[in-house]
């Protein structure tokens, strides 16, 4: 049986407050994505990550730098 998987760009944070700040800023700017629990395959500082179907690493780096959002890592995962 074939299982459908989806590719997501996830962004990890060292602290929960940074993840929640990302959620608030993205919502204000109309940038799509959401906070999800940390996938088991990922090791990060806090238990939340930002997940988005927009898998453009340059976009996310530029966006977070421009908005003053501190993050740990950006990676693609299959869910």
- CA separation for the pair 5, 68 (Å, rounded): 32
Chain segment 37-78, per-residue pLDDT in tens: 988 888 778 899 999 988 889 999 999 999 999 999 999 888
- Name the token pair of 68: 């003053």
> At 8, phi and psi to the nearest 5?
-130, 150
Question: Which domain range does residue 21 map to?
Answer: 7-78
Determine, yes or no, domain membership for 60: yes
Determine, yes or no, domain membership for 26: yes
Determine, yes or no, domain membership for 2: no
**The pTM is what?**
0.85
**pLDDT, position 2:** 53
Is 90 exceeded by the pLDDT of residue 22? yes
**pLDDT, position 4:** 57
Determine, yes or no, domain membership for 25: yes
């Amino acid at each position: 049986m074939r299982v459908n998987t989806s590719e997501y760009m996830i962004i990890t944070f060292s602290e929960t407050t940074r993840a929640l700040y990302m959620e608030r800023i993205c919502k204000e700017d109309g940038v799509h994505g959401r906070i999800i629990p940390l996938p088991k395959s990922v090791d990060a500082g806090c238990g939340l990550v930002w997940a988005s179907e927009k898998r453009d690493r340059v976009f996310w780096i530029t966006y977070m730098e421009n908005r003053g959002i501190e993050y740990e890592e950006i990676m693609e995962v299959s869910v």
